[in-house]
Amino acid sequence: MTISIIVTNWNGLKLLQKNFETIVRHSTLSSEIIFADDASTDDSLRYIYQLQKIYPQIKVIARRHNLGFGENTNQAVSTAKGELLVLLNNDIQVYPGYLDAALPYFTNPKIFGVGLCEVNRPNWGKFFWQDGYLQYQAGQPTTTGHISGWLSGGSSIIRKDYFQKLGGFDPVYAPFYSEDLDLGYRAWKSGFDIYWEPKCKIEHKHESTISRFPKRFLDYVKERNRLLTVWRNITDPHLLKANKFALLNRVLWGPNYIKIILAARRQVKKFPPPIVYPTRTDQDIFNLFSGT
């Protein structure tokens, strides 16, 4: 199967200088390396154009206006030629052969994608329902492949046609946070499977440019999007009723939470419903992860 590497970036020059050339050198299985720049104002593009002279397989997409992580990735995917997409953040360092163990999974047509193993940070995840919300947490270390609730938007390999069938990352979560969790839930609900493979080793430095935003703004977006993951994905009436009680309790304890609810409602009205092909119920999904 043909492979396209997609590296998204926004004002990440220092991270690119640390990591990008290594990604190119260790991605010999790929037919193209797509660099999707989201209207950077630093010298990111100048640096990549210099590397392009050495590595002609680099394809540059330069946005004139900032789209946010999800839409920047979606548009990069639309230009990719590969049947499989490797999504990488600009703060990822890859090891030689980092994709080898993932490829056999795709002989199974149910496989949506495979999560790469962030060294010293097991990053497969599981879903559960608690306190009126869709919850998630990292799974325990394992030496064998394991189902995962979602695929990190910055360290995974995904089938292009399945990604596009589900509409990619939902723009309702812009500018960032929860896009990959949401896509994973919709994939499971649509009957696909997601795995995490410990042999696909990378290092994630967690030096994202998102950290440059004010903490208050980041907390606001996280809370808004946390609520949206419920409203956009959960259909079980009992769970939705529990969420309503949870919202009432949050408002009683902190009236400012009304701002989060109103912001989430604005997003729901602004964007069309998510694309999903219901095959599994919410409880089916939670049962898959209950014993993990």
Mean pLDDT of 82-105: 96
Mean pLDDT of 122-137: 90
The verdict on residue 134 lying in a domain is yes
pLDDT, tens digit, 9 for 90 and up, residues 66-91? 988 899 999 999 999 999 999 999 99
Phi (first) and psi of residue 268, to 5 degrees? -60, -40
Mean pLDDT of 130-144: 88
Q: Pick 141 or 93 by higher pLDDT.
A: 93
Answer yes or no: are the C-beta atoms of 224 and 138 closer than 8 Å.
no
pLDDT, tens digit, 9 for 90 and up, residues 231-286? 999 999 999 999 999 999 999 988 889 999 999 999 999 999 999 999 999 999 99
The verdict on residue 67 lying in a domain is yes
Q: Provide Rg for the chain, Cα atoms.
A: 19
HSE (CB half, 13 Å, CA atoms) of 257? 13
> What are the residues facing 108 on neighbouring strands?
none
The verdict on residue 93 lying in a domain is yes
Q: How would residue 34 be classed by pLDDT, with cut points 50, 70 and 90? A: very high
- Domain that residue 129 falls in: 3-211
Task: Extract the tokens encoding 67.
Answer: 């789209």
CA distance 214 to 81: 37
Task: Extract the tokens encoding 172.
Answer: 């309702």
pLDDT, tens digit, 9 for 90 and up, residues 184-233? 999 999 999 999 999 999 988 765 666 677 888 888 999 999 999 999 99
pLDDT, tens digit, 9 for 90 and up, residues 4-17? 999 999 999 999 99
The verdict on residue 201 lying in a domain is yes
Distance of CA 112 to the CA centre of its chain: 13
The verdict on residue 259 lying in a domain is no
CATH at residue 198: 3.90.550.10
Q: How would residue 63 be classed by pLDDT, with cut points 50, 70 and 90? A: very high
Angle at 97 between CA 92 and CA 103, to 5 degrees: 100
pTM of the model: 0.93
The verdict on residue 246 lying in a domain is no
CA distance 264 to 290: 29
What integer pLDDT is reported at residue 210 of this predicted model? 66
Mean pLDDT of 12-23: 94
The verdict on residue 225 lying in a domain is no
The verdict on residue 26 lying in a domain is yes
Beta strands of 21-154 (E only): which ranges?
32-37, 58-62, 84-88, 92-94, 111-118, 125-130, 133-138, 146-147
> What are the residues facing 136 on neighbouring strands?
127
CA distance 139 to 252: 33
